[in-house]
Amino acid sequence: MQGAVLSCGEEPAPTPGAESDLSFSREAAPVHPSKRVLVLNRNWQAVGIVGVKRAFLLLFREDARVISNAKDAHALLDIAQWLELSARHPPAPEEETLATVRFPVRIPSVLILSGYDRLPMCEVHLSREGILSRDECTCQYCGQRHAESELTIDHIIPRERGGRSTWENLVTACRDCNERKANRLPHEAGMRLTRRPRRPPRVPFAAAAAREGRFEAAWREFLPVA
Ligand SMILES: [Zn+2]
């Protein structure tokens, strides 16, 4: 998986002897536009999300197997077994499939890589939820904890004055503090931050994906609940 670009943008180090054309790529047009496939490393840890085309490339090159849920147990199927399963149990009409000359092939939901055992770390996506989580739902001016619905996101340097939406310029603020500060810098409003806002540390892919709610039902057991 040389140059593999995972969904979080993390790029694992090249694996010696790996095929360069196995790289994951956002640009690679998926065969099916909507279906996404979760990829686990060989330790069953989620490491990325790929499109259908990439998923089948991994299967055909025997770099991955399908995790198939059968009778409450996981079966690992190689590409031949997966094709056989698709032929024996045709997918439902509403199910997304890969059209082939002979028969429609089921699109797997989760793959497990055979040789890759790293756990890439990912940036946490900048969002309201991310800011609240970093600040532990605590107003960064008065230090009081509130329910999420009671909190606002404040630009330390106001947008009107060139302040950007970054981890370093966004903080959690209660409504009272946000109103009091208004479009001023903290010191102009006689306010102080309780701590300097920073970009949160990178987290394993599964945690980042879970925080962003990028779930599909079949992935649930492989991603921690947000
Ligand atoms: Zn406050």
Residue 187 Cα to ligand 1 middle (Å): 15
Q: Do both 103 and 73 map to the same domain?
A: yes
Residue 174 Cα to ligand 1 middle (Å): 4
Residue 166 Cα to ligand 1 middle (Å): 20
Residue 139 Cα to ligand 1 middle (Å): 5
Q: Above 80 in pLDDT, residue 71?
A: no
Residue 98 — pLDDT band, cuts 50, 70, 90?
confident
Domain membership of residue 110 as a residue range: 20-122+205-222
Residue 49 forms beta bridges with which residues?
38
What local confidence, expressed as pLDDT, does residue 221 receive? 86
Count other C-beta atoms under 10 Å from residue 137's C-beta.
17
Residue 22 — pLDDT band, cuts 50, 70, 90?
very low
Is residue 13 included in any domain, yes or no?
no
Q: Do both 66 and 160 map to the same domain?
A: no
Top pLDDT among 4 and 110 is at: 110
Which residues are within 5 Å of ligand 1 (an ion), measured at CB?
139, 141-142, 174, 177
Is residue 213 included in any domain, yes or no?
yes
Q: Do both 132 and 40 map to the same domain?
A: no
Q: Do both 31 and 78 map to the same domain?
A: yes
What local confidence, expressed as pLDDT, does residue 74 receive? 84
Residues with Cβ within 8 Å of residue 108, at least 6 apart in sequence: 37, 55, 59, 66, 67, 68, 82
Query: How many angstroms separate the CA atoms of 159 and 49, rounded?
Result: 34
Q: Do both 31 and 109 map to the same domain?
A: yes
Is residue 9 included in any domain, yes or no?
no
Is residue 197 included in any domain, yes or no?
no
Number of domains in the chain: 2
What local confidence, expressed as pLDDT, does residue 151 receive? 97
Closest CA to 142 of 108, 111, 171, 162: 171
Q: Do both 117 and 211 map to the same domain?
A: yes
Tell me: the pLDDT tens digits for 103-125?
888 999 999 999 998 888 888 88
Q: Do both 132 and 105 map to the same domain?
A: no
Is residue 92 included in any domain, yes or no?
yes
Tell me: the pLDDT tens digits for 190-223?
999 999 999 999 888 888 777 666 678 888 888 8
Residue 193 Cα to ligand 1 middle (Å): 10
Query: How many angstroms separate the CA atoms of 158 and 170, rounded?
Result: 10
Q: Do both 114 and 159 map to the same domain?
A: no
Is residue 137 included in any domain, yes or no?
yes
Residue 207 Cα to ligand 1 middle (Å): 29
Residue 111 forms beta bridges with which residues?
39, 66
Check: CB of residue 111 under 8 Å from CB of residue 65: yes
Q: Where are the alpha helices (DSSP H) in the chain?
A: 52-60, 79-88, 128-134, 175-181, 205-211
Q: Do both 146 and 109 map to the same domain?
A: no
Query: How many angstroms separate the CA atoms of 85 and 105, rounded?
Result: 9
What local confidence, expressed as pLDDT, does residue 137 receive? 96
Closest CA to 124 of 65, 56, 206: 206
Q: Do both 113 and 67 map to the same domain?
A: yes
* Rg from Cα positions in the chain: 22
Check: CB of residue 219 under 8 Å from CB of residue 46: yes
Q: Do both 50 and 145 map to the same domain?
A: no
**Domain CATH number, residue 161:** 1.10.30.50
Is residue 14 included in any domain, yes or no?
no
What local confidence, expressed as pLDDT, does residue 8 receive? 56
Tell me: the pLDDT tens digits for 134-184?
999 999 999 999 999 999 999 999 999 999 999 999 999 999 999 999 999
The predicted model scores a pTM of: 0.66
Quick check: helix, strand or coil at residue 197? coil
Residue 191 Cα to ligand 1 middle (Å): 10
Q: What is the dihedral of CA 15, 19, 21, 23, to 10 degrees?
A: -20
Is residue 12 included in any domain, yes or no?
no
Q: Do both 115 and 210 map to the same domain?
A: yes
